[in-house]
Structure 1
């Protein structure tokens, strides 16, 4: 039985899931491609696998399918302007990294300097999923910055960051089951 879902309610429900913000990058034939992505998550620790969703109409989509390599920059709060820039459709490919601090990974993909961590990935599995493609990547490289600790978050179309609480998950739970 096919059920119709109210699109406004669906989008509203998804918007209420707070997520981290990443910039996904790839390079194809010497041309860098990038997109802001919140549809990213860990899949497996052993072997190390992550998942990224890419909209089928984006320039990034076809490039990452062809290149089969990609980077993920998990943005710090200071990466908000970069996140907004790489979410903007139609930006020029050839100059899109001008004025944005970045470096090139061993695989050749660009990684953002305003990040808490970076991952380099090789596409292992591609899954067709409606208007998106799900990429599952084998992690081939990873790095973290210990001098930054404020993640960039996204919730209901707004950027934010965390508020640290003394009763966080790092606090040992002493209650009963």
Structure 2
């Protein structure tokens, strides 16, 4: 006799889920790539290391973000880890509908030696990555990148994201 499986519980409402994951403090990054003669950038906090052998990281990118298709097509992208002094940059590059052309004009960048993607000059740390895999993840893609270069251009305190707002680790409660 087979015992029927218990029904799956109803998942939480999206607002409840957001409140829960909002309690997980994360660093703030800017993802960058170049494709078709344009530079693309977006603020992201869904970034983490994956593997030391090979060196892999992942980022989660909304399917509707302009950066998504450009990064997938280019096959290379950069990660700039922001300092608390980069709050305005994070806000600007998180603004939906901002102009594509010239979006990095107010941000000091240099070109990565391995890929040529723009990297923020004020970043605490930068990585250049080649796409290793792309996985479906609901309304996002999970881009796994093989790290081609790693640098720590500046020192300072990290910019954090917690409970839906930017902050510094010393001042968050």
Q: TM-score with structure 1 length normalisation?
A: 0.88
Correspondence for 2:140: 132
* SS across alignment from 1:142: strand
1:58 aligns with 2:65: yes
Runs (4+) off by over 4 Å: none
Gapped regions of structure 1 (runs ≥ 5):
165-177
**Alpha-carbon distance in structure 2 between the residues aligned to 1:65 and 1:98:** 23
Correspondence for 2:170: 163
Q: Residue deviations 1:140-163, cap 9 Å, x none? A: 011003x52210001011111123
Q: Residue deviations 1:6-29, cap 9 Å, x none? A: 111101001111000000001112
Figure out how many residues of one structure are paired with residues of the other and give that number: 163
Correspondence for 1:85: 92
Q: Residue deviations 1:51-75, cap 9 Å, x none? A: 0000001101111111110000000
**Alpha-carbon distance in structure 1 between the residues aligned to 2:58 and 2:14:** 24
Q: 1:45 aligns with which of 52, 55, 76?
A: 52
Correspondence for 2:4: none
Correspondence for 1:14: 21
Q: Residue deviations 1:118-154, cap 9 Å, x none? A: 0000000110010000000000011003x52210001
Deviation at 1:90, TM superposition (A): 1.1
Q: 2:112 aligns with which of 81, 86, 105?
A: 105
**Alpha-carbon distance in structure 2 between the residues aligned to 1:79 and 1:118:** 14
Of 18-27 and 103-112, deviating more is 103-112
Gapped regions of structure 2 (runs ≥ 5):
1-6
Q: TM-score with structure 2 length normalisation?
A: 0.90
**Alpha-carbon distance in structure 1 between the residues aligned to 2:56 and 2:72:** 17
